[in-house]
Amino acid sequence: MRGPATDPQRAAGPRRARRTAGAVASAALLLPLLGAAPSDALSDSELRQAFEQAAAEYDVPQSVLLGVSYLQSRWDGHGGAPSVTGGYGPMHLTDARTALATAPHHSDGTEDPRGDDARPPLLPDVQLPQDAELPARLKTLTRAAELTGLSPEQLREDPAANVAGGAALLAAAQRELGRPLSDDPADWYGAVARFPGADDAATGVAYANDVFEVIRTGEERFTDAGQRISLAPQPHLTPAADRLRRTPEAEGTECPATVSCEWIPAPYEEFGDSDYGNHDLGGRPVSQSIEYIVVHDTEGAWEGVLDMVQDPTYVSWNYSLRSTDGHIAQHVKAKDVAWHAGNWYVNAKSIGLEHEGFLAAPDAWYTEAMYRSSARLVRYLAKKYGVPLDRQHILGHDNVPGPTTSTVSGMHTDPGPYWDWQHYFTLLGRPFGPTARAGSAMVTILPDYASNRPEYTGCTSPGEPCAVHGSSAVRLYSGPGETYPLIKDIGLRPGGGDSTTGVNDIGSRVSTGQQYAVAGRQGDWTAIWYLGQKAWFRNPAKAPTAVPAKGLVVTPKNGLDSVPVYGRAYPEASAYPVGVPAQPVSPLPYELLRGQKYVVGDKVPGEYYYAVTFATDGHKVVVGKDLYYEIQFGHRVAFVRAADVKVSS
């Protein structure tokens, strides 16, 4: 998903520019936002004391309280701002109020989610939902207020009160289960499973398993307010845990056994004038390999998003992940092709994950429960389908290239600069770090998320500064200093317009984990090759924003001044059989110039999945002889023909 479209004045496409007949093809419910004023940060001792006092007052083991808080927020307070589901403070107590979305997911810009110009563009238009009754998991702060006698304002704004509210909820759950208020953390498994207010027992069990894993291994970190909190490990802690059992709703899902998962199928239906939705049947990985996993955010809340993916006139993705507790719903089997990425080549080779969240709301933060659940799912899928765990295969939607020149400016930009890629890859078991000696000819972008706080604008209104927040992104300039203009992206602005600090403007920024060839160094500044230009970013030795790396790079073959760059790796015309129209191998508006180098992600054959009809008997996978290299060309990946370039290390 993305925030405001680059060109919001899109025309309705010839197909599907219709509203669903009758009532509700729901868009997302926006949750928050109660506008609590940020409170003054607690000191280290004050926050620790808040956990100690709450544990003593409500007879909850402090390790249990700390473990639950870590899984909710990693002990962060977020300045009193609510999460995507209206969760506040270190305990993520939820106080969500419904509001209507202004732009449904995948229908707010010019991007065709299928990204296949062999078919008319899919530009879905859906009705906004009506207010809905909030489930219990979105009203835990109200319950905490009843139990503690504290006001909702105190529970939202005061971290110490928030911790007390969480302790009260745990104690109440323990009593409801008929369990003693024991000093032994192992006795609290059931209460922990109830804490997030999950809709089903399996989700509660998965959540409790995560909390007790945190308690067993221990954690220590500085919070977003600079407070040092630690939880000593208890490696021998063995609660009487419930085994995560498959529910009837989970039957047939493709999920690891360590997460709570249910099957909510996206419809494969024919309607209208031989139109159909909202995905294509396939035979992956036998018919074609799965090479990518694409991370999205939903730009809306859980219930509305589930309504949309079940609408045949809308689009689809493979999985949705819930913020409050990490629960997963699968909608499209891995063998089939969901319409989510805006590039048909990537769709045909990828699995799409939608995370409950908002790109342009930096303080509508993602929970640790969702990060962990997502990481487990991605590890499982990557192992099953042989997807490398790196940033050229685990893509953000904002890393997917426009398939043709005309589509570049309309591509989506989620999950955006506030998704914590370093933490995510640490959970994947592949943390980023240096892989070469200082002074290497290649770097991995790696700013410190919490202290890296570039200015962004446009989160609430055009040109207005966004809330100051940690970020995975690093800004690029045309020279070694912030007085130089930002790098320009001729694909986003064909007339040569300037890049901006807009939260949706990816023309002049790189992101954690991406790798680039070094083009120069000057003082605290490092230059990389980016979109055919030398792009500079601040990289001081004492607080680096990139680390040395090694790998393969491509550059034009001898005798070539430039080579074309592509947004998809399609076969040559001679590879298409009779009855399958040859797709154009059309270059993007960029060039890879002589002397420039770009990091290689993979070598792949030209490939095209022909699927333009509801009946599957005419579907074909076309594989050519031409080979391509996937490269990290700008913020997005791209492709170059192997015949045009030479590879070096």
Inter-residue contact 96 to 85 (CB < 8 Å): yes
Q: Which amino acid belongs to residue 42?
A: L
Read off the pLDDT of residues 86-106 as tens digits, 9 standing for 90 and up. 889 999 999 875 322 334 455
Spans of the chain, pLDDT less than 50: 1-41, 98-104, 127-131
Cα(428)–Cα(420) distance, rounded to whole angstroms? 12
Q: Report, in this order, helix, strand and coil percent for the chain, each rounded to 5.
A: 25, 20, 55
Backbone angles phi, psi at 591, to 5 degrees: -140, 145
The whole-angstrom separation of Cα 601 and Cα 358 is 29
Tokens linked to 122: 């899919």
- For residue range 148-158, list pLDDT tens digits in order: 999 999 999 99
Run of H or E including 94: strand 93-94
DSSP state of 615: S
Q: Are 456 and 505 spatial neighbours (Cβ–Cβ below 8 Å)?
A: no
Using an 8 Å Cβ cutoff, are 68 and 208 in contact? no
Question: Is residue 246 within 8 Å of 255, Cβ to Cβ?
Answer: no
- Domain extent listing, the chain: 435-549, 553-648
The CA distance from 142 to 317, in Å, is 34
CA 144 to chain centre: 30
- DSSP codes, 359-379: TT-TTSPPPHHHHHHHHHHHH
pLDDT attached to residue 27: 32
Question: Which tokens hold the place of 191?
Answer: 């209460």
- pLDDT for the residue numbered 103: 42
The pLDDT of residue 360: 66
In angstroms, rounded to a whole number, what is the distance separating the alpha carbons of residues 605 and 570? 8
Which of the 8 DSSP states describes residue 272? T
d(CA 291, CA 385): 8
